[in-house]
Amino acid sequence: VVSVDTDMAWIRRLQNLTGDSAGSRRLHQVHYAKTHAELHSFGFGNLWAVVLVDHRYGLRRHVDAISYARRAKIVVLHDAERLNEYAYRYEQGHVRDHFRYVCKFTLFQNKERTSWVSTLLLSNYIDLRYFDAAIFRKINTDFGLVGCDLSY
């Protein structure tokens, strides 16, 4: 696992969680990028397995996710609830148009199903129907099954 961030506070938190120091060869490597340009050029040319886009610059999230459309096998885009569209603009930014496979999975946080967290999985390489059949349909939480909406 490689984590790259422009926020030194997050770098320190990750290092404390993993016992990692910047650039060491542990299972989780943590790297500080001084600028967003440095962040986006990190590992350029690599095909990453999974990239998580979950940063504080909400209006850039869809742009950053799209930038990994051909650089990562799976892009995970957090906070995909429709009520968050004003903050992240995934729909307005047409993030789905840049990926062949899209799956939105939702995890309910209470029995009444009035509170939930949604995340998008996006890929041009992996048919995400596999995740729905092999993984999500088998996960049962206290509040019901995890759903993977392939039509999202």
Q: Is 69 helix (H, G, I), strand (E, B) or coil?
A: coil
User: Residue 51: helix, strand or coil by DSSP?
Assistant: strand
pLDDT digits (tens, 9 = 90+) for 37-66: 888 788 878 899 999 888 888 888 899 999
The secondary structure of residue 58, as a DSSP letter, is G
Residues in the chain: 152
What pTM did the predictor assign? 0.81
Q: Cβ neighbours of residue 43 under 8 Å, at least 6 residues apart? A: 2, 4
Note the pLDDT tens digit of each residue in 67-126: 999 999 999 998 888 888 889 898 899 999 999 998 888 777 777 877 778 888 999 999
| Mean pLDDT (the chain, rounded) | 82
